[in-house]
Amino acid sequence: MVFAVNASAQEQPIQEVLQTGLVYPKEHGEVQCSFTSRWCKGTAHPSLHTPLNVEYDITDRRQIEIDWNAMGRPTETGAATTRGRGDLSFGTQYCLMNIRRSDFHSGVRFEFRLPTGSVEKELSEGFIEYEPYHIVARDFPKLNITQVYLQVGVGFVKWLRRRRP
């Protein structure tokens, strides 16, 4: 479910593709809220993630966002399900559109995640994460507004809280 205020008149691709961000900014003052659910079936611990994401565009090129995750997952013994808040993350992105009047775009992004969920209940891994990345995109307007993009980044983690033995 995605809600947008002051929706842009410019045609843009869907803002979230495969749970990644795109280089397209929104208009100054625009707010976008999204609430999605995702079932992750891992080998050891399947889980249900329900993140709430709020994006706000400070200018036509810069946006900030807050993402808060709620989770549910079976315990290690499988006897019960734990539920609660997960981690909280903050992000910012700066975009350059139509570089030198071309169909190329670029954006730099930085995300910061805090371990606000319970490590004991396995709702958080307990580390702070810093993730800078760069997005490069090219539009193909003659191909029904197709866009090809590449996102390259690196994540740095620091353990803040560990599960008690």
Digit-by-digit pLDDT tens for the chain (165 residues) are 443 444 444 444 444 444 456 777 778 888 888 877 777 776 566 777 778 889 999 998 999 999 988 877 766 666 667 778 888 999 999 999 889 999 999 999 999 999 988 888 777 888 899 999 999 999 898 888 788 888 899 999 998 777 666
Residues 6+ apart with CB under 8 A from 160: 115, 126, 127, 128
* C-alpha atoms less than 13 angstroms from C-alpha of 139 in its C-beta half-sphere: 19
Alpha-carbon gap, residue 1 to 3, rounded angstroms: 7
What's the pLDDT at 63? 92
- pTM here is 0.70
Structure confidence at residue 2 (pLDDT): 40
Note the pLDDT of residue 3: 39
> Among residues 110, 130, 116, 5, which one has the least CA distance to residue 51?
116
Tokens 């008149």, located at residue: 9
* pLDDT reported for residue 7: 42
Rounded Cα distance, 5 and 74, in Å: 37
Ramachandran angles phi, psi of 101, nearest 5°: 60, 35
Please tell me the predicted confidence (pLDDT) of residue 18.
Answer: 47
